[in-house]
Chain A
Amino acid sequence: MTATGGEAALFWVLAPLMVLAALGLLFVRRAVHAAMCLVFVMVSLAIMYIAQEAAFLGVVQVVVYTGAVMMLFLFVLMLVGVDASDSLTETIKGQRGIGLLLGLGLGIVLAGVVAQAAFPPAAGLGLANEVTNPVGLARILFGDYVLAMEAVGVLLVTAAMGALVLTHRRRLEPRRTQRTMAESRVRALPRGVSLTPQPTPGVYALNNAMDTPALDPAGEPVEASVPRVLRIRGQQRSVGALLESERATVEGE
């Protein structure tokens, strides 16, 4: 069966791009870029599935592969480090030549087989898809392949469990609870650590920034109310100057 003109156009537009994107997998340095190339190939494949009367698979391809699998890939890439770029210099002696040769050989053999084989005239899926493609698939899946379906379900659950087990981290020290934290603070008292939280910075009519100390009941500034870092850097404001400017503002009205 010969595809229609529209499909041919679609194929000839998509196929070279897909091969290019796939080659990108081979040659781009950054893993993220490779992932994006792969996403492009997968979406293109989804389109091709739909063009080939496999609407359900096309949708599943988008949902499962681009939606779930590739997201998982990207997620792991984020975890490992997006910037981790691959050095393309080869470490195993001769591996690059051998790999390219074998890949080329494989492509030639496979394409050769396909080109050599005598295919029957394409039957098309018009008859099979008469009840719509998902229903046709479902009849086969839950008819002939129901056991395989169940087994695959078990496989998915197992895989999920396996991932949990593999990435599980064993707790090496007791959990820090409110009580242990409180006890540690009490233990730290003799070293001059305050039991209570530090006093908050001062709040004034025109200013409530971190760099202004609070005033104690006697009207003196409290040193500890300004974060230590600011104090070390000498960035705290003096309370006197602040009060002076406030008074000037009030009086200026």
Chain B
Amino acid sequence: MEVTNYAVLASVLFAIGATTVLLRRNAIVVFMGVELMLNATNLAFVTFARLHGDLTGQVLAFFVMVVAAAEVVVGLAIIVTIFRTRRSASVDDVNLLKG
């Protein structure tokens, strides 16, 4: 089995995550889609670290995890705040920027 299979898997997961972001309306599920995309990139990083014999890829994946953790904290706080004021977690209900 080629190592690049992992990369293909990462691509597929990333595409599925992106599609989730586009199609789901529940803000939390949309957020999960974002997490899936991040995880897919992490898998790619790890795969390429192995491919090149360089641990820097893993270091970057580590940073992605930390930043993702911070992002989740803030993002969920925003979702909670919106839910409190609008009693809804649908991203379509927040469309005040309509042109």
Contacts and interface: CB of A to CB of B under 8 A. Distances in A.
The answer to A–B direct touch (Cβ < 8 A) is: yes
Interface in A114-154: 114-115, 119-120, 122-129, 133, 136-137, 140-141, 144-145, 148, 152
Given A25-B16, A52-B6, A80-B89, A119 B29 contact: no
A34 B8 contact: no
Contact of A137 (B35, B58, B76): B58
Interface string A15-27: 1001100110110
Interface string B30-73: 01110110010011001101111111101101110111111111
Given A22-B13, A26-B23, A140-B59, A152 B67 contact: yes
Contact of A119 (B4, B20, B35, B81): B4
Interface in A6-56: 7-8, 11-12, 15, 18-19, 22-23, 25-26, 31, 34-35, 38, 41-42, 45, 48-49, 52-54, 56
A3 interface: yes
Contacts, number: 246
A152 B63 contact: yes
Contact of A57 (B25, B53, B62): B62
A162 B73 contact: yes
Chain A: interface secondary structure?
A: helix
Chain B: interface secondary structure?
A: helix
A95 interface: yes
A73 B31 contact: yes
Interface of B: 1-9, 11-20, 22-26, 28-29, 31-33, 35-36, 39, 42-43, 46-47, 49-56, 58-59, 61-63, 65-74, 76-81, 83, 89, 92
Interface of A: 1-3, 7-8, 11-12, 15, 18-19, 22-23, 25-26, 31, 34-35, 38, 41-42, 45, 48-49, 52-54, 56-57, 60-61, 64-65, 68-69, 72-73, 76-77, 79-80, 84, 86-87, 90-92, 95-96, 98-100, 102-104, 106-107, 110-111, 113-115, 119-120, 122-129, 133, 136-137, 140-141, 144-145, 148, 152, 155-156, 158-160, 162-163, 166-167
28 contacts: A2-B1, A2-B2, A11-B5, A11-B6, A18-B9, A22-B13, A25-B17, A25-B32, A45-B42, A52-B50, A54-B58, A60-B62, A69-B68, A69-B69, A69-B72, A80-B80, A102-B22, A103-B22, A110-B11, A111-B12, A122-B51, A125-B55, A133-B58, A140-B56, A144-B56, A152-B66, A155-B66, A159-B69
